[in-house]
A and B are shown apart, each in its own frame.
Chain A
Amino acid sequence: MTNKTFYEEQDPIIICRDVQKWYGDFHALRGINMEVRKGEVVVIFGPSGSGKSTFIRTINRLEEHQGGKIIVDKIELTHDVKNIESIRKETGMVFQQFNLFPHLTVLQNITLAPLQVKKQNKAEAEKTAMELLERVGIPEQAGKFPGQLSGGQQQRVAIARALAMNPKIMLFDEPTSALDPEMIKEVLDVMIELAKSGMTMIVVTHEMGFARSVADTLHFFDEGQLVESGRPEDIYNNPKEDRTKLFLSQILQH
C-alpha cells in the first residue's frame, strides 16, 4: 500500500508502441500507444467492438499483434515461444467467462500451473492455494468442482488461480460482464483489495464506479483507437474528445 501513490515514479512495466491488428480486412487495433507503470491500475473502457478486449489479449499473446511493439517487463513479445511463455508466467489473466477447468476441483484449478509450470511441490502449492482462497473469501469451496459454484465464486476462483502464479501484472477482460448483478460486488471487492495491495492491473470493464474509485488512469477506446487517456476525475468531468463525451453521456444516464 505504501508504494501505491508512488507508481508515477516507477518505470513502465508494459510499453506498447503503435500496436496494429487486423481480423481479415477489419482493422481492429489502429496504432495503440500505452505505457503502464508498476503498481498502476489502468481501466480501459469503450463501446463494444472498439478493440479493448483484443488489445488486452495481445499483451499476453492470446492474440498476435501484426505491427508495432509490445514490451512486457523488459521482454519483447515476438514469435519466440520462450518469450511468450515467460511473459505469460508473469501476467495473470481473468476472463469474462471464467474459463475454469471443469474437470478439476477448485484446489486443483489453482495448483495446476504452479505444479506444472513452476514445478513447486504439492504441499507448498496447496498451502499457497488455500491462502489465496482465504484471500478471495471462499476457502470452504476448495474441494468442489467449478460447476457447483455460483458465477461470482467461480470468478473469484479464477482470480485466485491467476494469482497462484505470483504474477507481476493482472489482466482483467470484462470480469463482471457475465455475472448476475448481486454477484458483481463480491468480485469487485476482491479486485479493489488487489489494487490496494499494489498489483499492476489492466482492467477492461463497464463498471464505471470501480473505474472512478480505483483506477489511476482511464483509457477510452473507440473503433480500434485509443481516443483519450487521463485521470478518472479529468475524464469524467471534462472529457476533451467528442466521442468520449458521447459515450460517457450514454452510459452515465442511468
Chain B
Amino acid sequence: MTTSTTETLLPPTEKYTILGWIKRNLFNSIGDSILTIVAFLLTFVLLKSTLSWAFQEAEWTVIVDNLKLFMVGRYPAEELWRVWAVLYLLAGVIGFLWGAWVKGNERVGYVLIGMPIFLALLPFTMEVRLLILAVDLIGFLGVILGRRDNESFKKWSIIALLLYFPIGIMIIGGIGEGGLLPRVKPDLWGGLMLTILLAVIGIIFSFPIGVGLALGRQSDLPIITWFSVGFIELVRGVPLITILFMMDLMLPLFLPATIRIDSVMRAFVAITLFSAAYMAENVRGGLQSIPKGQYEAAHALGLSSFAAMAFIILPQALKAVIPILVSQFIGLLKDTTLVMILSLFDVLGIGKSVLGNPDYVGTSKEVYVFIAALFWVLSYGLSYASQRLETSLGVGER
C-alpha cells in the first residue's frame, strides 16, 4: 500500500474466548500438549496428598483449642478488649493514611483488606469473627475520611501514625495499678501480637537511628564517621541471636543489681539496634542514588545543609529505598522468632510450648503449617501492599 496514514490507528488488539486461549497457550503443538498434560498430572498428585492431609487427616483441634494463645499468648482474657482497641486504632490509622496519600488507584488495598478476612476464616467463634471483620470496616472508614480532599490530612495522617505507637503500647502495657488500664506485665505478652509488636517497634525505632547512622557515616567529622562505621560494622558482623544472648546474659552483669530490665524490653532494644545497622546501609544506598546536582542546586539556592537534607535529599532517597525497607521489615518479622531464647513466647514459642503439652502429642505438622501460613499471609500482604504503594508513589519513575 502506498497510502501513508495520517489518521491515527488503534493498536492491534487480541481477543480470545476461554477455549481459544486454552488452545493457543496450552495445546498449540504436540509437544505443548504433552507438557501440559504432564504438568497437570504432577500438580494433581502433589496437591491431592496435601489437600487430603489438610482436610482429612490433620487434627486442627490443636489450633482451635489454643487459638487465643497463638494470637496473644498469656495476655489476661478480661483485658483482651485492649488488644482489640489497639487493632482497631491501627486499622483506622492505616486506612486514614492510605486515603490521604494514595489517590486514585482503588484496587490498592485489596490484600490489606484480605488479611483480616483470612484471619476470620480461622476457627474462631462467630463473635470473634465479627470482631475481626470490624477491623476491615474501621479501616474502610479511615480510607473514606482520608479521601476527603484536604491537604492538611497528609500532615495529620503522619502525626496520627507517630502518635499511634506510644498510645498503642500504652494501651496494651497499661498504666498504673487498677483503674481503666491496669498494668499488664510484658512477660504476659505473647503470640502473634508479640511477634508483630517486636517487628513494628523494631522497624519504627530503628528508622531514625538508621537514618542518623547513614548520615553519620557520610559526615565530615571523623569521630561521628568512626562511631557510625564502627557501630554498623560491629552489629552487622554478628548474628541477631548473638545480640539477643548478649542482652540476656551480659547486660545484667554490667548493670547494677537494682536495675532490672524485663525480657521484652531487652528484646526490643536488641532488635532495634540490629535493625538500625541494616537500615543505615539501606538508607546510605538511597543517599548515594541521589545525583550530585541535587545537592548543588539546593546549596546554590541558599538552603542550609540541614534543609537540603530534609527537603531535597532524604525525601528522594527514602522513596527510592521503600522496596528495600519493606523487605527488611519482612525479614525482621521472621527474625523475631529468635526471641524464644529470651524465654519470650512469640507465635513460634507458643507453638513449641503447645506441642510440649501431652494432650497435643503428634500434632507438630499442624502447628508448624499453621504458623508458616500466618507468616506467609503477613509477609505476602506487606510485600503486595508495598508494591502497590510504590506504583502510586511513582517509585522508579524520574
Residue from A88, A102, A103 within 8 A of B301 (CB atoms):
A88
- Complex contacts, A165 vs chain B, CB 8 Å: 301-302
Contact yes or no, B296 A62, CB < 8 A: yes
Nearest CB in chain A: distance from B353 CB, A? 49
Nearest CB in chain A: distance from B37 CB, A? 49
Contact yes or no, B301 A161, CB < 8 A: yes
Contact yes or no, A101 B302, CB < 8 A: no
Nearest CB in chain A: distance from B143 CB, A? 24
Contact yes or no, A101 B294, CB < 8 A: yes
Residue from A92, A100, A101, A116 within 8 A of B300 (CB atoms):
A92
CB contact list, A62-89 vs B, under 8 A = 62, 85, 88-89
- Complex contacts, B303 vs chain A, CB 8 Å: 112-113, 116-117
Chain B CB within 8 A of A99 CB? yes
Nearest CB in chain B: distance from A161 CB, A? 7
- Complex contacts, B298 vs chain A, CB 8 Å: 101
Closest to A115 in B: B311
Contact yes or no, A113 B296, CB < 8 A: no
Encode B285-322 as 1/0 by CB contact (under 8 A) with A: 00000010110111111111001000110011001000
Number of interface residues of A (CB under 8 A): 24
Encode A44-63 as 1/0 by CB contact (under 8 A) with B: 00000000000000001010
User: What CA separation (Å) do A159 and B311 show in the bound complex?
Assistant: 20
Nearest CB in chain B: distance from A220 CB, A? 25
CB within 8 Å for A97 and B293 given contacts A112-B311, A116-B307, A147-B398: yes
Number of A-B contacts (CB under 8 A): 63
Chain A CB within 8 A of B397 CB? yes
- Complex contacts, A93 vs chain B, CB 8 Å: 296-297, 300
- Complex contacts, B398 vs chain A, CB 8 Å: 102, 147
User: What CA separation (Å) do A102 and B312 show in the bound complex?
Assistant: 9
Contact yes or no, B312 A88, CB < 8 A: no
CB within 8 Å for A113 and B316 given contacts A95-B293, A101-B297: no
- Complex contacts, B299 vs chain A, CB 8 Å: 60, 62, 88
Nearest CB in chain A: distance from B304 CB, A? 7
Contact yes or no, A116 B296, CB < 8 A: no
- Complex contacts, B397 vs chain A, CB 8 Å: 147
Most B CB contacts (10 A, CB to CB) among A85, A92, A113, A117 go to A113
CB within 8 Å for A117 and B302 given contacts A103-B316, A112-B311, A147-B397: yes
- Complex contacts, A88 vs chain B, CB 8 Å: 299-302
CB within 8 Å for A101 and B307 given contacts A113-B301, A161-B301: no
Nearest CB in chain B: distance from A231 CB, A? 29
- Complex contacts, B291 vs chain A, CB 8 Å: 97, 99
Encode A91-114 as 1/0 by CB contact (under 8 A) with B: 111010101111100000000110
Chain B CB within 8 A of A42 CB? no
Nearest CB in chain B: distance from A151 CB, A? 14
Main secondary structure of the interface of A (DSSP, over half): mixed
Nearest CB in chain A: distance from B224 CB, A? 17
Contact yes or no, B296 A99, CB < 8 A: yes
Closest to A61 in B: B299
User: What CA separation (Å) do A102 and B301 show in the bound complex?
Assistant: 16
- Complex contacts, B316 vs chain A, CB 8 Å: 101-103
User: What CA separation (Å) do A117 and B316 show in the bound complex?
Assistant: 20
CB within 8 Å for A103 and B319 given contacts A95-B296, A112-B311: yes
- Complex contacts, A147 vs chain B, CB 8 Å: 397-398
Residue from A85, A95, A97, A102 within 8 A of B302 (CB atoms):
A85
Contact yes or no, A95 B301, CB < 8 A: no
- Complex contacts, A113 vs chain B, CB 8 Å: 301-303
User: What CA separation (Å) do A101 and B398 show in the bound complex?
Assistant: 10
CB contact list, B345-364 vs A, under 8 A = none
User: What CA separation (Å) do A88 and B303 show in the bound complex?
Assistant: 9
Chain B CB within 8 A of A187 CB? no
- Complex contacts, A100 vs chain B, CB 8 Å: 297
Closest to A90 in B: B302
Contact yes or no, A89 B300, CB < 8 A: no
- Complex contacts, A116 vs chain B, CB 8 Å: 303, 307, 311
CB contact list, A112-166 vs B, under 8 A = 112-113, 116-117, 147, 158, 161-162, 165
Nearest CB in chain B: distance from A94 CB, A? 9
- Complex contacts, A92 vs chain B, CB 8 Å: 300-301
CB within 8 Å for A162 and B304 given contacts A95-B293, A101-B294: no
User: What CA separation (Å) do A116 and B309 show in the bound complex?
Assistant: 12
- Complex contacts, B301 vs chain A, CB 8 Å: 88, 92, 112-113, 117, 161-162, 165
Nearest CB in chain B: distance from A63 CB, A? 10
CB within 8 Å for A103 and B315 given contacts A97-B293, A147-B398: yes
- Complex contacts, A158 vs chain B, CB 8 Å: 297
CB within 8 Å for A99 and B319 given contacts A117-B302, A117-B303, A147-B397: no
User: What CA separation (Å) do A93 and B296 show in the bound complex?
Assistant: 9
Q: List 23 A-B contacts (CB under 8 A).
A: A88-B299, A88-B302, A91-B300, A92-B301, A93-B300, A97-B291, A99-B293, A101-B297, A101-B298, A102-B316, A103-B316, A112-B301, A112-B303, A112-B311, A112-B312, A113-B301, A116-B307, A116-B311, A117-B303, A117-B307, A147-B397, A162-B300, A165-B301
Q: Other than the known A91-B300, A101-B294, A103-B316, what 9 A-B pairs have Cβ atoms closer than 8 Å?
A: A88-B302, A92-B300, A93-B296, A95-B293, A99-B297, A100-B297, A112-B301, A112-B312, A147-B398
Ordered nearest first, which 9 A-B pairs have the shortest CB separation? A99-B297, A99-B293, A113-B301, A93-B300, A89-B302, A88-B302, A117-B302, A116-B307, A103-B316
